[in-house]
């Protein structure tokens, strides 16, 4: 038999708890037979003491049916969830995995895109231009901007050749 409070205190060694949700009750229990203990984000010392007090009970963490479920979030952005195998159960601490490079969104500022377009134009490249999140210009604004860009590029090209 394990004491849920002692197990939680062992889990919290060296960590600062942000919030937690622990549910007591075997998986075959009806919803109304289960009890959930919450520690909310922004909790104070009184809330924390009540949370630990509510966990002050013994349960069978050995083989059989799982009795505790839940998640504990830590201030260092790690978290713990319940591990279980054939009824034996325990807390497991997890870190947020790194995002793979191919999942990262590539973003550019409006100025970076304009610079790339001008450089491409000077090289004789043609970009199919679309407008997205920054602004949605009218057709007249697009034409005016294109004329100004071309004029600026032409002037810069002439200056560079001098």
Of 35 and 30, the one with more pLDDT: 35
CA–CA separation, 25 and 84 (whole Å): 14
Q: Are residues 65 and 113 in the same domain?
A: no
Share above pLDDT 90 across residues of the chain, in percent, rounded to a whole number? 37
Domain total of the chain: 2
Whether residue 23 is found in the same domain as residue 81:
yes
Q: Is the pLDDT of residue 63 over 90?
A: no
Least confident of 49-53, 80-84, 108-112, 130-134: 130-134
Res 28 pLDDT > 70? no
Better-scored residue on pLDDT, 62 or 143:
62
| Max intra-chain CA distance, the chain | 87
Q: Are residues 27 and 70 in the same domain?
A: yes
Q: H or E stretch including 133?
A: none
CA distance 2 to 35: 18
> Are 118 and 60 found together in one domain?
no
Binned at pLDDT 50, 70 and 90, residue 67 comes out as confident
CA distances from 138 to 74, 86, 89, 144, 149 (A): 49, 64, 62, 10, 16
* Predicted local confidence at residue 87, as pLDDT: 73
| 64 and 89 fall within a common domain | yes
Domain ranges, residue 89 = 2-94
């Amino acid at each position: 038999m394990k004491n849920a409070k002692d197990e939680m205190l062992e889990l919290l060694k060296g960590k600062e708890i942000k919030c937690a949700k622990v549910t007591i009750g075997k998986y075959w229990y009806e919803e109304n037979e289960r009890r959930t203990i919450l520690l909310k984000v922004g909790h104070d010392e009184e809330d924390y003491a009540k949370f630990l007090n509510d966990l002050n009970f013994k349960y069978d963490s050995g083989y059989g049916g799982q009795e505790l479920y839940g998640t504990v979030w830590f201030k260092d952005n790690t978290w713990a969830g319940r591990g279980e195998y054939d009824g034996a159960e325990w807390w497991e601490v997890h870190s947020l995995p790194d995002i793979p490079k191919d999942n990262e969104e590539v973003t550019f500022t409006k100025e970076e895109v304009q610079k790339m377009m001008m450089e491409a134009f000077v090289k004789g490249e043609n970009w199919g231009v679309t407008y997205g999140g920054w602004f949605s210009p009218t057709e007249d604004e697009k034409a005016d901007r294109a004329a100004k860009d071309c004029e600026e590029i032409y002037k810069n090209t002439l200056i560079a050749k001098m």
